[in-house]
């Protein structure tokens, strides 16, 4: 037990060392100490709220990671996915229709406490990134570097929700989707490792039999998902479903990938080698995952107050400068007055 704990500490130390060597804001306007003077207790607030929720429901970690990915991959890490109501990205029946309430509520609680301590200073976008970082670490994953200073978008982008990679697509389609967001093939393989914990609804698990899936797993899924309900789920990683580790990749070598997009990583010539490396080397996976997470959280960020704001309520859309509130109402979402 002591040896395992020591190994975990060594992995974290190595990841931190690599991350430290890559530090330095890659995006103008962002910095690690952005709230040092304007909201010095922010990280304490985030950690306390995340700890309390995680201790009650460890599933909040993969739920937060999914929210962050779905937010960043549409129009950038701008908290647009958090906006509710008509015309939002939370389209019923769409990929954001199953975002877990426990994670959305946690983001809201953190933001409200930050607002009370530092009114209209901390963005929902930064809260989402920080909460995900802390929850991932508590789940056993690597702690990735975070630069802060993002602003929130004024409006959601429901037309871009379909840009999210589909679990029904193979590696070729995903490689192109990541390339369009300036993410590499290595980033694709690394970030796919987020499926090492969490669950999927049966409706997004493509029916597959042998030889593309382990026969015993295929038989189990046929029983579990024959008549799925809105709440019928299946663990994404069948080996160690509640731990953030490299067993997701080991499962791919055993044809136990839950999504077609996952299983294709071990077969495609551009992704196979790295997936195999991660299946054998958890430290390598953690280092690359942390680097890719930092890179993803810097996609499409807003730092200009002409393009974004600090929302008073994460779920309520804002009002661009010099735009009448009626315009926002006409577009189908509520303006933050």
Length of the chain: 337
Task: Establish whether 70 is a catalytic residue.
Answer: yes
Cβ–Cβ < 8 Å for 75, 158: no
**Preceding peptide of 314 cis, ω within 30°:** no
Q: Which SS3 state, helix, strand or coil, does residue 151 take?
A: strand
What residue spans of the chain are helical by DSSP H? 2-21, 42-56, 60-72, 101-117, 124-138, 171-180, 185-192, 215-224, 247-253, 260-263, 272-280, 282-296, 325-330
Distances (CA, A) of 215 to 42, 93, 168, 229, 307: 49, 30, 19, 24, 52
Instruction: Please say whether the beta carbons of 100 and 122 come within 8 A.
Output: no
CA gap 253, 266 in Å, rounded: 7
Distance CA 144, CA 44 (A): 17
Three-class secondary structure assignment of 172-224: HHHHHHHHHCCCCHHHHHHHHHHHHCCEEEHHHCCCCCCCCCCHHHHHHHHHH
Q: Which residue has the tokens 């709230």?
A: 35
Catalytic residue among 70, 111, 174, 195: 70
C-alpha–C-alpha distance, residues 131 and 309, integer Å? 20
What is the C-alpha separation between 150 and 298, in angstroms, rounded?
9
Residues marked active site are found at 70
């Amino acid at each position: 037990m002591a040896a395992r704990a020591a190994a975990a500490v060594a992995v974290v130390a190595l990841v931190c060392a690599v991350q430290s060597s890559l530090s330095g804001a890659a995006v103008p306007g962002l910095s690690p100490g952005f709230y040092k003077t304007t909201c010095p207790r922010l990280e304490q607030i985030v950690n306390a709220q995340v700890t309390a929720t995680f201790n009650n429901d460890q599933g909040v970690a993969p739920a937060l990671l999914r929210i962050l990915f779905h937010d960043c991959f549409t129009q950038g890490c701008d908290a647009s996915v958090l906006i509710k109501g008509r015309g939002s990205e939370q389209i019923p029946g769409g990929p954001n229709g199953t975002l877990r309430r426990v994670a959305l509520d946690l983001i809201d609680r953190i933001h409200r406490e930050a607002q009370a301590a530092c009114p209209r200073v901390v963005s929902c976008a930064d809260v989402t990134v920080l909460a995900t970082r802390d929850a991932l670490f508590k789940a056993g994953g690597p702690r990735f570097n975070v630069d802060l200073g993002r602003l929130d978008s004024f409006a959601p982008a429901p037309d871009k929700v379909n840009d999210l990679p589909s679990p029904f697509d193979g590696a070729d389609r995903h490689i192109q989707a990541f390339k369009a967001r300036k993410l590499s093939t290595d980033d694709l393989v690394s970030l796919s490792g987020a499926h090492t914990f969490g669950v999927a609804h049966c409706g997004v698990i493509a029916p597959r039999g042998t030889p593309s899936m382990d026969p015993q797993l295929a038989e189990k899924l046929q029983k579990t998902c024959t008549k799925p309900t809105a709440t019928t789920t299946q663990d994404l990683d069948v080996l160690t479903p509640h731990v953030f580790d490299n067993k997701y990749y080991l499962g791919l070598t055993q044809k136990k990938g839950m999504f077609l997009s996952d299983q294709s990583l071990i077969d495609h010539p551009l992704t196979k080698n790295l997936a195999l490396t991660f299946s054998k080397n958890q430290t390598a996976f953690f280092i690359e995952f942390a680097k890719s997470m930092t890179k993803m959280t810097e996609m499409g960020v807003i730092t200009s107050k002409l393009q974004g704001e600090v929302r008073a309520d994460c779920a309520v859309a804002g009002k661009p400068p010099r735009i009448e509130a009626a315009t926002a109402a006409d577009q189908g979402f509520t303006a933050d007055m």
